[in-house]
Structure 1
Amino acid sequence: MYVRNQLRRYSVESVVSLALELLQHGEPQSHEHLQTWPWITCLVVKLACENDSIPLHGHGVRACPQHVFDRCRQALWDAQAGKDRLDDPRGGVYLMFRSMLQAQLAFQSKPGWDFLRFPALVRRLPEDHPCRMLFDQQFGMTPNVFICLCYASAALIFKGDRVLHPSSFKNLSQAFGAGVEKFFDLFSRDLLGLRAELQRELKVRLDKGHPWRPRSEYNDFPWLSNFPLFKRSSNDYAVWHPLIFARGLENAVHRRLSRRKDEYAAEFSKVFEDYVLELLSESGTVYLSEEEYKKRYGRDKNTVEAIITKDGSNIFVESKMTAYSSEVTASGQAPVVWQGLKRVRQAMAQGWAVSTALRSGDFADLACSRAQEDFRLCRNKRIW
């Protein structure tokens, strides 16, 4: 409400201009840049774009002054660590700091190439695999084309470019046809497009009976990562922030494929599990597989995907696809976190059951039954 009242006399266009100046200034991981609170700056942009009482363009409307923009950022920062923390004490100090640090720690990290991992995993699948076909449908291109365009864009951004021009990709256009245009369509929006996307999401929230403003909004990684390029013209795309771009691409595959949540989760869970075991095998690690465990103890029993035994200790490896939203990682409320981590708690229960079974005598010939300590490693991937 405060931000809306402060900005309604000015144009969203001028707010975005001030935000880009801040977000693109200096080294992204420098102490000076972090002191500008880039995640809070992005939240001001989000709130301005979402509210249709704030005009999009500056025709006959004043540009937002710097001091008003800074006042809005200060208000959001104060709200992040202020009264909203006192309204509900159920989270405790640990969850409070956990929620506050989600975005801040992310902006302290250098953008990497993690966004190539999951499209590369899908790329290895046969063309008729359900996950591979779903990828082609949702992105309008093959994983190979997607990887090449992600790499080409990121290489420019990581070396310092803050504006991308599709015309610079003309050699790739010759190889990939409409793939370049499709890529920019997927990951960019202009002012009107940003407002349309945000108001659509707002309507979905309200239709489900959720609050107008999500409690976790102060601490979420910027929503702009959904569309990490700002379309200023048909050949001019501003980069909000290098880290926002990298994180946006990293989450893009799961976010878009999970629109077909049941179909995607059922198929990709197995792909993900096989990948975890493949990494174990490639490392030369000796482990007891889920299949071998079930042969000995019964297929109707709780199990984990792998048991590694080393130096008198067991490590239970389990991968989970979870269907909780970013609200869980950004929340300081214990009930929200508890419910959202249901699948992780299931993995913990599986580990306890396996630990008990190993000491039942049925595995006396295996080293894992003689281990003194058990540890659980749960590799988790979210479905949005």
Structure 2
Amino acid sequence: MSLLAEPAKDRMEELERLPWLSFLVVKWALQDKRVHLTFAPRQLAYSREAHGRILQELWNFRAPEDDSDRSRNAWQLIRSAFHAQQLFQKEQDFGFLRWPALIQGLAHDHPCRRMFREATSLEPDDFNDLAMVMLTFTTRPGATIHPRNLAAVKEGYGERLAKFLELFSRDLQGLRSALLLPDASKLVGESELREFPYLQRFPLYRSDQGILRCWHPKVFSRGIETTPHLLMMEQPQAYSDAYSKVFEKHVTALTTRACSQALVETDYKAALNGNMAQQGKALEVIVPFRGCNVFVEAKMSTFPDAVLLEESEEHRARRLKRVLEAVEQGYSVSADLRCVASPFAEQLGNADCDFLIVVVSRDLLLGGGVGLQRILPSRVLSASDDGVRQRMPLHHIFIVDLADFENVMECVYQGWVDLPELLARAAQNNLGGPDSRLTLFEHIKLSDGQQLRPALRHEESERVMERLRCALNLPEA
């Protein structure tokens, strides 16, 4: 912790310290019962030099190849290696505010809200308030938080603060107990070297004196965003069933806010007038533009880290089942729109090309259809229909996480971006070369004065600050 707490010149130097591997060493030490949790001075043989050598060996490690490794996929190796690195480079985007804000707007007895309460022992708005407060104390690795620093927060939030800290902090014995549970050992072998630190579930270390220390700012910010979901995913089917509708509704709202001409799923199905074959292949939203259609489909899933680290193509395909379903839905709708009997044949069927945006609940580091094909090389992912394949080739398919989609739709809403032009340019760039990108927003260059503030996160941050001002008796800004 002291090594990671030393100031770095820039993000690259901080990344070169391989923080995810340092936390893996911590995890292994705590899982090994032969390692004592208290150290007498004579036992302090573990030096920085020794730690550095271990990190280098882990970084250089490559599992020996055997017959089963002949099909190892170079693109998948790059993707899995990039996973932890990109999360340690990610700028703070207040993504942790999103889901509690969406859940807070639901009825008190809604399954999503009930599951959130059961997982965190907090209401969503209290969770966001306390997460924002603690975020201010965790801006650097090893940041120390004394109980006196939280006195005003304790006075304003009482037991709710205690429940939040109980959720996210552990002493060494508590960490050891948690890390000895089966869930902490699901990733094994080479994949474990590339996982984002398991300590994201407990990003605050608690000393015997009640002093808190932040393992790392990125571990904390990732933890407050993912931990409630990790807890709720212990009931995977119930979680997916409850949250899918909320996710789809949010994606639809983002699209219709930015594109008033959008055709939503309910209206599409109603116009089909009982043709259940076509209704079954409907998408969340179809947005018609001159010369093209933009399809939007939301796919909520548990998508654990293993979806990024899986070495077997067969297992990768199984974990990406919902994404593959979305691609097939896009192909079907593209064909259906051109049917003579379709009520949309004249309005939408004359478009020269179609684009598909698959919005997923986590970043899958795929970019789009081209990236999906690269990690599933034995499958033919292009459309079987010649017309669909010409209108919507693989590079016309984008697979984006919710944060990326929010950013892009905010730019479209503000009038900073023309969506068809962006998609056409991004599709061409993603065929390969230096302009290829993993996220859609990276193809956008904002002008001076254009400050990106995605509506949900921005509005929730203002509500949080107002609630904190009242609870902590802070002066008005």
Alignment TM-score, normalising by the size of structure 2: 0.70
Q: 1:96 to 1:124 in 2, by over 3 A?
A: same
Partners of 1:268 and 1:42 in 2: CA distance: 31
Alignment partner of 1:24 is 2:5: yes
Alignment partner of 1:367 is 2:347: yes
Partners of 1:234 and 1:286 in 2: CA distance: 60
Amino acid at match of 1:357: D
Alignment partner of 1:168 is 2:168: no
Query: Among 238, 245, 249, which residue is 1:263 paired with?
Result: 238
Residue 266 of structure 2: aligned partner: 291
Amino acid at match of 1:378: V
Once the two structures are TM-superposed, the CA of residue 322 in structure 1 deviates from its matched residue by 1.8
Once the two structures are TM-superposed, the CA of residue 204 in structure 1 deviates from its matched residue by 7.2
**Equivalent residues in 2 for 1:200-211, closer than 5 Å:** 200-201=181-182, 205=186
Residue 65 of structure 1: aligned partner: 47
Residue 97 of structure 1: aligned partner: 78
Equivalent pair of 2:247/2:298 in contact (CA under 8 Å): yes
Q: 1:170 to 1:60 in 2, by over 3 A?
A: closer
Equivalent pair of 1:120/1:143 in contact (CA under 8 Å): yes
Q: 1:69 to 1:161 in 2, by over 3 A?
A: closer
Partners of 1:74 and 1:215 in 2: CA distance: 15
Alignment TM-score, normalising by the size of structure 1: 0.86
Equivalent pair of 2:31/2:180 in contact (CA under 8 Å): yes
Partners of 1:101 and 1:214 in 2: CA distance: 17
Question: What is the CA deviation profile of residues 66-119 of structure 1, one whole-angstrom value per residue up to 9, with x for unaligned ones?
Answer: 22222221221111xx23577724242111111111111222222331111111
SS at match of 1:363: coil
Question: What is the CA deviation profile of residues 284-311 of structure 1, one whole-angstrom value per residue up to 9, with x for unaligned ones?
Answer: 4321111122123334521110011223
Alignment partner of 1:327 is 2:306: yes
Q: 1:133 to 1:323 in 2, by over 3 A?
A: closer
Amino acid at match of 1:77: W
Question: What is the CA deviation profile of residues 172-210 of structure 1, one whole-angstrom value per residue up to 9, with x for unaligned ones?
Answer: 2223220111111101111111111111126875xxxxx
**Equivalent residues in 2 for 1:105-144, closer than 5 Å:** 105-144=86-125
Amino acid at match of 2:244: S
SS at match of 1:322: coil
Q: Structure 1: give runs of 5+ residues left out of the alignment.
A: 1-19, 206-210
Partners of 1:180 and 1:234 in 2: CA distance: 17
Once the two structures are TM-superposed, the CA of residue 327 in structure 1 deviates from its matched residue by 1.2
SS at match of 2:300: strand
Q: 1:289 to 1:360 in 2, by over 3 A?
A: same
Residue 63 of structure 2: aligned partner: 83
Once the two structures are TM-superposed, the CA of residue 242 in structure 1 deviates from its matched residue by 0.7
Q: More relative contact order in 1 or in 2 (CA 8 Å, sep 6+)?
A: 1
Partners of 1:110 and 1:203 in 2: CA distance: 27
Q: 1:27 to 1:250 in 2, by over 3 A?
A: farther
**Equivalent residues in 2 for 1:9-20, closer than 5 Å:** 20=1
Q: Mean Cα displacement is larger for which, 305-314 or 351-360?
A: 305-314
Partners of 1:121 and 1:364 in 2: CA distance: 33
Residue 412 of structure 2: aligned partner: none
Query: Among 214, 217, 222, which residue is 1:239 paired with?
Result: 214
Q: RMSD value over aligned CA atoms?
A: 2.3
| Greater fraction of residues in helix | 1
SS at match of 1:370: coil
Once the two structures are TM-superposed, the CA of residue 22 in structure 1 deviates from its matched residue by 2.1
Query: Among 246, 249, 252, which residue is 1:277 paired with?
Result: 252
Residue 17 of structure 1: aligned partner: none
Partners of 1:43 and 1:204 in 2: CA distance: 12
SS at match of 2:17: coil
Amino acid at match of 1:165: H
Alignment partner of 1:226 is 2:201: yes
Residue 195 of structure 1: aligned partner: 176
Equivalent pair of 2:141/2:215 in contact (CA under 8 Å): no
Q: 1:102 to 1:117 in 2, by over 3 A?
A: same
Residue 376 of structure 1: aligned partner: 356
Alignment partner of 1:250 is 2:220: no
Q: 1:284 to 1:315 in 2, by over 3 A?
A: closer
Partners of 1:334 and 1:311 in 2: CA distance: 39
Equivalent pair of 1:229/1:239 in contact (CA under 8 Å): yes
Partners of 1:96 and 1:288 in 2: CA distance: 39
The count of residues paired between Structure 1 and Structure 2 equals 355
Residue 336 of structure 1: aligned partner: 315
Partners of 1:363 and 1:326 in 2: CA distance: 42
Partners of 1:85 and 1:148 in 2: CA distance: 49
Residue 356 of structure 1: aligned partner: 335
Q: Mean Cα displacement is larger for which, 112-121 or 229-238?
A: 229-238
